[in-house]
Amino acid sequence: MPADKLTILEIRSAEQERMIEELSGQIAEQWKTIDALQRKLDALTMRFLSLEEQTAPEVPVTKPPHW
């Protein structure tokens, strides 16, 4: 009977170790995806700001009427 319990615990331990490795791999892949998306977002943000600067009308500097 104790040998059966030990075998069951060893099997559970092996399954948990495999699951942890699988989840770790998935997290690594998701992190790569998040990193790539962050780089794309940063590039699009810079492009948007650049286009916004190019298309913004130039505001003339004038003195207020009360001066």
Give tens-digit pLDDT for 38-59.
Answer: 999 999 999 999 998 888 777 7
Within a domain: 18: no
Within a domain: 60: no
Closest C-alpha to 26, from 14, 34, 38: 34
pLDDT of 31: 98
The percent of residues above 70 in pLDDT, for the chain, comes to 97
Distances (CA, A) of 47 to 19, 42, 43, 53: 42, 9, 6, 10
Q: Where are the alpha helices (DSSP H) in 1-67?
A: 2-55
Structure token pair of residue 11: 């099997």
Within a domain: 44: yes
Domains: count for the chain:
1
The residue segments making up the domain with residue 48 are 28-54
* Separation of first and last alpha carbons in the chain: 98
